[in-house]
Every structure is written in structure tokens, then in C-alpha cells.
Amino acid sequence: LAAFDDHGYALRASYALDWQAIEYFADQKLRWLHLGGGAGVKSDGGDGLSFYKRGWSTGSVPAYFCGRILDRTRYAEIVATKRIGATTYFPAYRAGEFG
């Protein structure tokens, strides 16, 4: 996870950081590097972050994030603080955040 200001974008700092990370992991003889998903809730890959990450890759695979509740007590506490009614959205505490 990274964030940049206007100067960082102008320098294209993200390219340098990612290049160094890729080289580091290649030196460690790792076979795969997961760059994570795109931005937003759509899965069409049309966002800028997906476009950027595809520039580094030779392929893609599906990835699933946040599919399990490991601490049900804590999860229930978090959901309760949001005062969200019944929902099929997962995780429930994020329901409604994206319109």
C-alpha cells in the first residue's frame, strides 16, 4: 500500500518502488509475486490501478480477499458499532460505503 503527493506522481515514484520490490523478490527466488487487486468494487479491471499493475505482469489469476471471519466476537462488535441492519454484503461493516 502506498500513497504519493503531486511531486511523487511527477517523479513516477511508484515505478521505482515497485521495480525495486520486484528485483528484491526475484533475487529471493520467489516464483510468484501478487500485486493485489485494482481500485473500487467493480471487477472489470478498467480502473487506473488495474491498468498500472497489468503493466508489470505476464498474466493474472483470480484472488479473493476477506472471505472468512476468523474472530467472530470481534467481527460482531465491529458490525454493532456501525448500526447496520441485516445485509448480505460482506464484510457487513462496509455495507453502503461504495454507493
SS3 30: coil
What pLDDT is attached to residue 96?
Answer: 84
Grid cell in block for residue 99: 454507493
Number of Cβ within a 10 Å radius of residue 61: 7
Verdict on whether the full-model pTM lies above 0.75 = no
Q: Domain residue spans in the chain?
A: 6-54, 66-99
In tens digits, what is the pLDDT along the chain, a chain of 99 residues?
677 899 988 999 989 999 999 999 999 999 888 887 777 766 677 788 888 888 888 888 777 666 789 999 999 999 999 888 888 888 899 888 876
What pLDDT is attached to residue 28?
Answer: 95
8 A C-beta contact, residue 39 and residue 48: yes
Grid cell in block for residue 73: 466476537
Positive or negative, the CA dihedral 91, 96, 97, 99 is positive
What pLDDT is attached to residue 75?
Answer: 93
